[in-house]
């Protein structure tokens, strides 16, 4: 449908303006008052209805009514920035010290506003309706859950969902292409905390103590055998201990210490298995060595699993916009996490990759102080989202 392609291309300059404004005014987590106000003002100008701010504390929703109230497609963009000091030197760089849109969520927001404009321009062709979902707090992986708890998938009930991520998350792609994946695409992510209790004392009389650091080392070694010896080599899993803290003095055995880490898995079953084994190994090892261990978890998003039928519809819709030869399968998942997975766990849908690199020395990884995106292709993201909304019922 070259019509949407043309309209999307014509809007690129406007999306660049929106994106640059958002880029200059980054906000973190749920503290997104200016971002919410900016989105709500644009949506009002565009003619979206039922605009609500403060959904899930820092999010915005709105409705675009097509031929009837149902079915409802949710289109989601995350809107939050990162606690990073920007070093791009761009004319529209962050105006807030220590905060930066270093993951491209400014572009996601601009592209969803662009898709909204395209859909309002083509309302007569829209079957059912669209719920626009601007989500806060993705970088702390809790915003989607907070929005869902706040009822974002109800009133009206959302029947399908779509979203994208821009940037360089997957290599081997060029700007102007679209990447899709029919299998689990990003990992479940949880944090674990192991608090080990022993009995402190003098470093010269270890036999009179229960050394928690010694217990912690055994637990650390035990944890390393979960992925190497207990899970299938064909099922990706990661277990990383990123913090091991205890004691402060060379000759004092402390009374306790703490290990903190993260686990990643591509299936809910493996995720549960890792949680169980971490808990058992920590508790039983500590007991064996005369101490005790308490294990707690911060549960993050589940694995991101797209719906196969929706993926096929996305491939067709994106092909209409960028050309079928530029819509390519992502060769392998990433063990990074993304809380779009929480929406996809509740509602069938699809998440796709919107490559936006330059192919030169301006490319830096996500979350880097010099991270930047190629604005010339904002139209491919907005166009693909809009075309998907117009055709997912066909
Ligand atoms: Zn990020
Ligand atoms: Zn991101």
Q: How many CA atoms lie within 13 A of 24 on its CB side?
A: 9
Interior angle at CA 58, CA 262 and CA 44, nearest 5: 140
In the reported structure, the alpha carbon of residue 67 is separated from the centroid of ligand 1 by a whole-number distance in angstroms of: 36
pLDDT at position 45, please?
Answer: 98
Phi, psi of 85 (to 5 degrees): -85, 115
Residue with tokens 């903190």: 260
Residue with tokens 């701010």: 53
In the reported structure, the alpha carbon of residue 359 is separated from the centroid of ligand 2 by a whole-number distance in angstroms of: 20
In the reported structure, the alpha carbon of residue 1 is separated from the centroid of ligand 2 by a whole-number distance in angstroms of: 29
Q: What is the pLDDT along the chain (394 residues), one digit of tens a residue?
A: 459 999 999 999 999 999 999 999 999 999 999 999 999 999 999 999 999 999 999 999 999 999 988 999 999 999 999 999 999 999 999 999 999 999 999 999 999 999 999 999 999 999 999 999 999 999 999 999 999 999 999 999 999 999 999 999 999 999 999 999 999 999 999 999 999 999 999 999 999 999 999 999 999 999 999 999 999 999 999 999 999 999 999 999 999 999 999 999 999 999 999 999 999 999 999 999 999 999 999 999 999 999 999 999 999 999 999 999 999 999 999 999 999 999 999 999 999 999 999 999 999 999 999 999 999 999 999 999 999 999 999 9
pLDDT at position 214, please?
Answer: 98
Q: Which ligand is nearest to the CA of 366?
A: 1
Q: Say how far apart CA 200 and CA 202 lie, in whole Å.
A: 7
In the reported structure, the alpha carbon of residue 118 is separated from the centroid of ligand 1 by a whole-number distance in angstroms of: 27
Q: Say how far apart CA 277 and CA 282 lie, in whole Å.
A: 8
pLDDT at position 144, please?
Answer: 98
- Domain 188-299 fold is Alpha-Beta Plaits (3.30.70)
In the reported structure, the alpha carbon of residue 168 is separated from the centroid of ligand 1 by a whole-number distance in angstroms of: 11
| Domain ranges within the chain, ordered by starting residue | 2-185+304-391, 188-299
Q: Say how far apart CA 75 and CA 108 lie, in whole Å.
A: 11
In the reported structure, the alpha carbon of residue 156 is separated from the centroid of ligand 1 by a whole-number distance in angstroms of: 29
**Can you give the three-state secondary structure of the chain, one letter per residue?**
CHHHHHHHHHCHHHHHHHHHHHHHCCCECCCCHHHHHHHHHHHHHHCCEEEEEEECCCEEEEEEECCCCCCEEEEEEECCEECCCCCCCCCCCCCCCCCECCCCHHHHHHHHHHHHHHHHHCHHHCCCEEEEEEECCCCCCCHHHHHHHCCCCCCCCCCEEEEEEEECCCCCCCCCCEEECCCCCECEEEEEEEEEECECEECCCHHHCECHHHHHHHHHHHHHHHHHHHCCCCCCEEEEEEEEECCCCCCEECCEEEEEEEEEECCHHHHHHHHHHHHHHHHHHHHHCCCEEEEEEEECCCCECCCHHHHHHHHHHHHHHHCHHHEEECCCCECCCCCHHHHHHHCCEEEEEEECCCCCCCCCCCCCCCCCCCHHHHHHHHHHHHHHHHHCCC
Q: What is the pTM of this model?
A: 0.94
pLDDT at position 303, please?
Answer: 98
In the reported structure, the alpha carbon of residue 202 is separated from the centroid of ligand 1 by a whole-number distance in angstroms of: 45
Q: Which ligand is nearest to the CA of 167?
A: 2
Most distant CA atoms of the chain, gap in Å: 82
pLDDT at position 2, please?
Answer: 55
In the reported structure, the alpha carbon of residue 225 is separated from the centroid of ligand 2 by a whole-number distance in angstroms of: 31
Is domain 2-185+304-391 in CATH 3.40.630.10, yes or no?
Answer: yes
CB neighbours (10 Å) of residue 290? 12
pLDDT at position 151, please?
Answer: 98
């Amino acid at each position: 449908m070259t019509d949407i392609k043309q309209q999307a291309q014509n809007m690129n300059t406007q999306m660049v303006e929106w994106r640059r404004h958002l880029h200059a005014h980054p906000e973190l987590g749920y503290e997104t008052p200016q971002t919410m106000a900016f989105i709500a003002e644009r949506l009002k100008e565009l003619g979206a209805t039922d605009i609500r701010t403060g959904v899930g504390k820092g999010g915005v929703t709105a409705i675009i009514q097509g031929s009837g109230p149902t079915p409802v497609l949710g289109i989601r963009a995350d809107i939050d920035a990162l606690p990073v000091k920007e070093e791009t030197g761009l004319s529209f760089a962050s105006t807030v010290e220590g905060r930066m849109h270093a993951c491209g969520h400014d572009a996601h927001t601009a592209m969803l506003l662009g898709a909204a404009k395209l859909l309002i321009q083509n309302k007569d062709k829209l079957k059912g309706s669209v719920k626009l979902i601007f989500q806060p707090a993705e970088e702390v992986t809790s915003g989607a859950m907070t929005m869902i708890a706040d009822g974002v998938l109800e009133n009206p009930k959302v029947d399908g969902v779509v979203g994208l991520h821009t940037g360089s998350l997957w290599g081997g792609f060029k700007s102007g292409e679209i990447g899709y994946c029919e299998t689990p695409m990003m990992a479940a992510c949880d944090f674990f905390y192991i608090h080990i209790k022993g009995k402190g004392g003098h470093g010269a009389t270890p036999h009179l103590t229960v050394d928690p650091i010694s217990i912690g080392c055994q637990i650390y070694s035990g944890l390393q055998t979960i992925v190497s010896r207990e899970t299938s080599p064909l099922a990706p899993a990661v277990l990383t201990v990123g913090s091991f803290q205890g004691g402060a003095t060379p000759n004092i055995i402390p009374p306790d210490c703490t290990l903190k880490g993260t686990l990643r898995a591509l299936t809910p079953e493996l995720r549960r298995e890792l949680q169980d084994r971490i808990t058992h190994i920590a508790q039983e090892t500590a007991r064996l060595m005369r101490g005790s261990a308490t294990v707690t978890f911060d549960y993050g998003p589940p694995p991101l699993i797209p719906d196969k039928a929706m993926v096929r519809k996305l491939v067709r819709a994106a092909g209409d916009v960028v050309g079928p030869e530029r819509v390519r399968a992502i060769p392998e998942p990433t063990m990074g996490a993304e809380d779009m997975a929480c929406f996809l766990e509740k509602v069938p849908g699809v998440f796709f990759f919107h490559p936006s690199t330059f192919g030169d020395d301006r490319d830096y990884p996500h979350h880097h102080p010099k991270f930047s995106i190629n604005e010339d292709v904002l139209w491919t993201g907005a166009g693909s989202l809009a075309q998907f909304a117009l055709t997912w019922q066909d």
